[in-house]
Chain A
């Protein structure tokens, strides 16, 4: 017999009221605004946009506020929101070579055309806590210098001219672009689906996976060929207008990882590549993504695929923090019926065990007598 149980409505309602109160905190402290989150916690906003897979700073800031700073909860909120809007279509692919760079570094060549541009970075800071921030001082105005009009070509394009690095795979005529938000994932997955999966994947998971390749679990000798961050223009082929319309610009981070060679009897050896791209300033994310992208190319490049980071089913099935948190956190929801059946089974097993051991421990004489 199955008995449905209801209850807890009032407790739930009151818990949510209490949550709203806890979210606000001490009301003598001024409330934080979305602009403050967007401007002063910009990298948290970038992460929520990347992993929420939705470029909208204001919505990401709202999600962070609503989630009390829990970024995975905020990502969940953004993903749920995106399901409420119709999709107009897909943009023209962005041209990262034409990025207005705010930061651009290469660890492979010192003298790259356009130069090494540090931009706003934590690199080379001493990681000492700064008490002046606790007081809230106005920062010094940024230094300025005459900007060069020289182009900043991708480092991989420079290497590519001499054939020292493999060229990027081009799309086949009329090939559609895989979209894991529309079709369920099947394995083996093509590179377009893998990159989409990694682009929205959890930064911590990708960091650990990328790190594992450096420590020897799928070694592929990476160099950060180039990391660039800045603004790119977005264009959309609008069906009603009949031409590509400008939508505005977005901030992106791109990482080109340069890895050890491949070659064959017919092809001269050349460097191989891993690629990372994410919304906003997301360097750790794009570097990790590029390491994992390269590791996932093991089979294509004829490498032995023994490490977790080279296993695309393992990586792609566990990279999504909304899916992961859903399955892990569902364990705290009521499982009373499930558990009752387990409990019933366990009691039965224990009873059988105690009966069996009572029999086994019985003195020989009694046992014989019983037989």
Chain B
């Protein structure tokens, strides 16, 4: 589900449109709020409060009973609702496979391509040290 949090709402919505969705309703209408982000002293010690982030959340229930929760950084309530819908669908035996295949897998692929490109650009800035040949003359 982490893949969905990294995708744009439009990308998720476009892929969801390709599925014949079962009836569903909002269990929790999209809501914006804050989450306090925590770090650790020294990176690996006791936690401390670093600062907050905006977060949107929603919950969706399928007519067949599955409940999905959607959380994402930012203030895009529609994205939170779409994530919640996907989370509910994934749990359904009728839709789980299709959501993984048609939505999550291609979005994961896109994310990996973006990350691979960024990693390659970063790698080009890695320093190669070499030893100067001493002038013995």
Contact = CB atoms under 8 A, between A and B. Distances in A.
A242 B22 CA distance: 25
B120 A147 contact: yes
A97 B44 CA distance: 8
Contacts, number: 227
Chain A interface residue count: which class?
A: 35 or more
Q: Secondary structure at chain A's binding surface: helix, strand, loop or mixed?
A: mixed
A47 interface: no
B118 A93 contact: no
B1 interface: yes
Contacts of B43: 96-97, 154, 156, 168, 254, 256, 275, 277
A93 B40 contact: yes
Interface stretch (B12-20, B31-39, B93-101): B31-39
B53 interface: yes
B69 A245 contact: yes
Contacts of A212: none
A117 B126 contact: yes
A324 interface: no
Contacts of B32: 85
Contacts of A94: 37-40, 50
Contacts of A170: 45-46
Interface string A177-211: 11111000000000111011001100000000000
Interface of B: 1-2, 5-6, 28, 32-55, 57, 59, 69, 71-75, 115-127, 129
Interface of A: 49-50, 53-56, 58-59, 82, 85-94, 96-97, 100-103, 110-111, 115-120, 142-148, 154, 156-157, 167-171, 175, 177-181, 191-193, 195-196, 199-200, 233-234, 236, 238, 240-241, 245-250, 252, 254, 256, 273, 275, 277-279
